[in-house]
Structures are given as C-alpha cells and as structure tokens.
C-alpha cells in the first residue's frame, strides 16, 4: 500500500504539461461554480478546491473575490498552484484527510475521487467510501445553501478497446494509452511526457494512473445521504463532457 503522502503521480513534467495543455475543464468548472454561487446570492466566503492541481479553479474564484483554499497530493502541482494562484492558500493532503474549513462551496474537479494515488489497493467500494466521507465532512461545514460541485469517471470512460493518442504543442509531447476493465470497473492510463529544450535535449517521464469507475446513481445516493439536494449537469459552462464523465451539483439543504 502506498503511503498517504508519497507522491505517486503528477511529477514535474506531467504537472506542467497538464497545467499548460489540459486546463479547460477546470476553467469551465470555475465558471459553473461562480454562476451557481451568484444564483444562490453568495458573494463572499471560502471556496475549497479539493484536488486543486495547478490552481486553475482556485485562481478563478479568488479573483472573483472569494477566499480560496486548495488541497492536493502532488508537491509539483502545489508548486504550480502557488505560482499561478498567489491569492489562494494551498495544503498538501489526500482527499480523505483534508481538513475542510467552514466554507460556501467545495469543488472536486478532474476525476479526483476516481484516482487511487493514496491507496493503490482501493476498489470501487472503497473509493465510494472515501467520497461518502468527504461529502459528509463538506456538508458539516458548508454554509446554508452552500454548494458541492464534483465530477468523476464512469464506466465507458474509455470503452471496450484500448485507446491511444498523442498531444503535441511547442516543446511538449504527450503519448498516452488507456485501458478499461469493465468487469472490475477500473481504468489504467499510461502517460509518457516529453519536453525538448532549446538545445534539442529531451527530458521524459512516464506515469501510470489507476482509477476506479463510479456509477452516477451510486454517487448521487451518497450525496443525498450526506444531506445534499443533487442535480446532474449535462456540461460545465462551455465545456462538453466526454463519454464516461459525469458532473453532480449538490446544494446543502
């Protein structure tokens, strides 16, 4: 079993390429969250960004006038977050161990609950237990009318056949292979990141990320039990959800 604070993924190269090339979902989620807070008449307070990554959502909400607190397991992601979102504060923690302060919203964006970084032996049931624990903790500290926004991977995220692809921009190149096991409801992504410097030298890293896949009804039930009124969203603002990706919005009752 991996130690809870061992940095098993999102090292320096992948953290940087994720920040520079794959931040659209976090930006769109931030717009969705800010719109919901506005509709609820909540113009100030603390927003908690669980699995904050490089701080894209934290920056958006702090620039909108909220106090942002982010939690993440990756030291390299947190280093980027502190650079990118200087108006927010950041803490290194697993999702399950994050001490969520009193707040008006909690965001968990980017399939964070699916990853098994903090426990390589986790199965679907154990993953749902972590989600349930975090949801209950969030509900206990959320202000009346507060919001929980989360997304997660579901069966069908990859499909029956392995998926391979390449992304290249500027000095960066990323190759990936994803394989889904529908019986175990798991997914493994292998990601090779390459950066070429100005002298033509390459730096490479390879990571394998294991995820468990949740049925949306199972997640919605746990949010309901925790005390949230649950709504399923078809998209984040301006970002169409790919297959096997679900978004739930919970309002504190």
Can you list the alpha helix ranges (DSSP code H) found in 44-142?
56-63, 75-84, 124-141
Strand (E) or helix (H) holding 216: helix 216-226
Q: 160: which DSSP letter?
A: S
66 and 184 co-located in one domain: no
Q: What is the pLDDT of residue 3?
A: 37
What pTM does this model have? 0.94
Q: What is the CATH number of the domain that holds 205?
A: 2.20.25
Number of structural domains (the chain) is 2
Q: What is the pLDDT of residue 197?
A: 76
173 and 226 co-located in one domain: no
- What are 142-153's pLDDT values in tens digits? 999 999 999 999
Sign of CA dihedral 155, 185, 209, 249: positive
Residue-range definition of the domain harbouring residue 27: 12-157+214-252
89 and 195 co-located in one domain: no
109 and 224 co-located in one domain: yes
For residue 19, tell me if it sits in a domain. Answer: yes
| 110: three-class secondary structure by DSSP | coil
Residues 197, 230: Cα–Cα separation, whole Å: 47
Residues 189, 107: Cα–Cα separation, whole Å: 24
229 and 131 co-located in one domain: yes
Complete DSSP assignment for 173-196: EEEEEEEEETTTTEEEEEEEEEEE
Residues 228, 215: Cα–Cα separation, whole Å: 18
Residues 61, 58: Cα–Cα separation, whole Å: 5
Q: What is the pLDDT of residue 200?
A: 78
Q: Are 50 and 107 in contact (CB under 8 A)?
A: yes
For residue 185, tell me if it sits in a domain. Answer: yes
Residues 4, 29: Cα–Cα separation, whole Å: 27
How far, in Å, are 3, 63, 110 from residue 87 at the CA level? 30, 8, 21
Can you list the alpha helix ranges (DSSP code H) found in 103-173?
124-141
For residue 5, tell me if it sits in a domain. Answer: no
149 and 167 co-located in one domain: no
Q: What is the pLDDT of residue 118?
A: 67
96 and 41 co-located in one domain: yes
For residue 135, tell me if it sits in a domain. Answer: yes
Strand (E) or helix (H) holding 236: strand 235-236
For residue 7, tell me if it sits in a domain. Answer: no
Q: What is the CATH number of the domain that holds 103?
A: 3.40.50.150
- What are 159-195's pLDDT values in tens digits? 999 999 999 888 889 999 999 999 999 999 999 999 8
41 and 131 co-located in one domain: yes
151 and 184 co-located in one domain: no
For residue 3, tell me if it sits in a domain. Answer: no
How far, in Å, are 48, 59, 70, 77, 167 from residue 85 at the CA level? 13, 5, 10, 12, 26
For residue 173, tell me if it sits in a domain. Answer: yes
179 and 61 co-located in one domain: no
Low-confidence ranges of the chain (pLDDT < 70): 1-8, 118-121
181 and 241 co-located in one domain: no
Q: What is the pLDDT of residue 171?
A: 87
198 and 248 co-located in one domain: no
For residue 76, tell me if it sits in a domain. Answer: yes
């Amino acid at each position: 079993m991996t130690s809870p604070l061992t940095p098993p993924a999102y090292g320096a190269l992948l953290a940087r390429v994720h920040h520079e090339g794959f931040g659209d979902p976090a930006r769109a989620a931030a717009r969705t969250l800010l719109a919901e807070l506005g509709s609820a008449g909540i113009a100030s307070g603390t927003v908690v960004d669980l699995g904050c990554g490089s701080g894209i959502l934290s920056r958006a909400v702090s620039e909108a006038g909220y106090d942002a607190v982010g939690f993440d397991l990756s030291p390299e992601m947190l280093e980027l977050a502190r650079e990118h979102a200087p108006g927010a504060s950041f803490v290194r923690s697993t999702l399950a161990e994050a001490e969520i302060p009193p707040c008006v919203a909690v965001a968990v964006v980017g399939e964070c609950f699916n990853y098994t970084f903090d426990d390589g032996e986790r199965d679907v049931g154990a993953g749902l237990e972590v989600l349930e624990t975090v949801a209950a903790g969030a509900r206990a500290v959320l202000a009346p009318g507060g919001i929980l926004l989360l997304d997660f991977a579901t069966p069908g995220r990859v499909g029956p056949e392995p998926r391979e692809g390449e992304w290249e921009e500027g000095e960066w190149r990323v190759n990936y292979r994803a394989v889904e096991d529908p019986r175990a409801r798991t997914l493994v992504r292998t990601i090779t990141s390459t950066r070429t410097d100005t002298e033509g030298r390459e730096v490479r890293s390879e990571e394998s990320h294991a995820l468990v896949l949740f049925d949306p009804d199972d997640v919605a039930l746990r949010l309901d039990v925790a005390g949230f009124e649950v709504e399923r969203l078809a998209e984040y603002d301006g970002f169409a959800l790919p297959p096997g990706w679900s978004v739930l919005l919970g309002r504190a009752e």
